[in-house]
Structure 1
Amino acid sequence: MTSRTPLTREQSRAVDVLAAEKYHIPGVILMENAGRGCAELLRSKSPGNVLICCGPGNNGGDGYVIARQLDLHQVPVKVALFCSRERVQGDAAINFKILTASDIEILDVSDEPLCESFRAALAEADWVVDAMLGTGVTSPPREPIASAIRAINASPAKVLAIDIPSGLDCDTGEPHDPTIEADLTATFVTPKIGYETAAAQKCLGELHVIDIGTPQKMLREVLG
């Protein structure tokens, strides 16, 4: 078994739990490593203007780190927040506080329908980072994220999905309606088991595995 053996949804959750409880790795460190790795991948593509779309969970937290890392390297970046600021919790909240202190433009776009500021930012974007929904998704995306996914798919911008394209089921590999159609997917630790299906591969685009500092011993434990 290696770190490239695919994980299920439950095994991915086990990685997070074991990292914190048994291996003493704070989640905010793993999030920083994940975001930095994704930013480095995107910078290798000479991205131009970047719009980072963030949901309420840790996937959004990865997006905040990516925004800060891109800004550090003078890449023009905006963040679209698809939840109220009060819903950002835990490790994601730590990185959101850093983001708000960094003078990076944040668009509050949690209302329905999609606001004009989001549509304008999307029209200017060369790349969109999908950090809206993570591997926990088992049902179709709700509004306003559903409308955002459709707008992103219809736009000429290229898309980098963080860990998983929003709307894709990581276990079955089946895309819900709607699901992001990514040009690149940067997944963490290992691919997910559903990525092997033909339906998933149409949404994933080019798949990259980002190492975030999880010990091999822990991965062997998760994989049994």
Structure 2
Amino acid sequence: MIKKIRTLSVSVKQMRELDRRAIEDYGIPSIVLMDNAGRVVSETVIKYFPRVKNIAIFCGSGNNGGDGFVAGRYLFNKDRKVSLFLIKKPSEITGDPAINLKILQKLGITPLTLNTFVSLSAGSMKGLPYDLLIDALLGTGTKGEIKGIYADTISLINSAGKPVVAVDVPSGLDADTGKPLGSCIKAKITVTMARMKKGFLKKTARKYTGKIIVADIGIP
């Protein structure tokens, strides 16, 4: 019998260990955890923003982005219009995220790379038809100053004047310290996976996380 790790809030290192144990020790496929995470994000959007119809999802190339792809599929299935924006080209995305991205593409959702979008939007989202934005750019393991296309995209999202739902952590927030790493998403709601992150309990984090929902994604 595997001994469970019981704690109300976790560091990034502890969360990584919980993920590893779920996959390697308990045998839960990583793609199942990703599907659970994305589904809960979509359910949160439907619950708290029931009238929202037009949603833009901003995705990185890692598992956080993969959660965003799954959320997009579930929202599409609920008759929401989903627009998808990627940090990298679809061909550069691998593993579980790539599987979920391909499903979206088969549903007819064509992603646009963020370099192209930032250029076309001239640094502003005002006037664009989105009711809500989902931040699935960067995960809890992010360290160091946010720069380049990530910083540009975060600024773009924050300036949109639309509610933002962050996946696991607002992009640009240090999940251990609760301090911004330069540019940082200001979310209306943060759906964080499996456990509360220690940094979210800090006063500095509050204006970035918004309401925090700890999602059960099946990790023991």
Shared fold (TM-score, shorter chain, > 0.5): yes
User: Residue 24 of structure 1: SS of its match in structure 2?
Assistant: coil
Runs (5+) with no aligned partner, structure 2: none
| 1:35 Cα offset (Å) | 0.4
Distance 1:149 1:38, change over 3 A: same
What SS is found at the alignment partner of 2:23?
A: helix
Aligned amino acid, residue 13 of structure 1 = R
Q: Give ranges in structure 1 of 5+ residues lacking alignment.
A: 216-224
> What residue is the counterpart of 1:82 in the other structure?
87
Provide the rounded CA distance (Å) in 1 between the counterparts of 2:32 and 2:100. Answer: 11
Counterpart in 2 of 1:162? 167
Matches of 1:142 and 1:96, distance apart in 2? 25
Per the TM alignment, residue 122 of structure 1 is displaced from its structure 2 partner at its CA by 7.7
Q: Is the 8 A contact 2:173 2:184 kept in 1?
A: yes
Q: TM-score, normalised by structure 1?
A: 0.89
Which of 148, 162, 169 in structure 2 is aligned with 1:143? 148
Matched, 1:181 2:186: yes
What aligned pairs does 1:1-224 form with structure 2 within 5 A after superposition?
5-44=8-47, 45-46=49-50, 47-110=52-115, 114-116=118-120, 123-215=128-220
Change over 3 Å in CA distance of 1:125–1:135 after alignment to 2: same
Aligned partners of 2:114 and 2:153 also within 8 Å: no
CA contact (8 A) 2:165 2:191 kept: yes
CA contact 1:3–1:190 (8 Å) conserved in 2: no
Runs of 4+ in structure 1 deviating by more than 3 angstroms, as ranges, are 1-4, 117-122
Alignment root-mean-square deviation, CA: 2.0
Alignment length (residue pairs): 214
Secondary structure at the counterpart of residue 114 of structure 1: helix
What amino acid is the match of 2:65? G
- The percent of aligned pairs where both chains have the same amino acid is 37
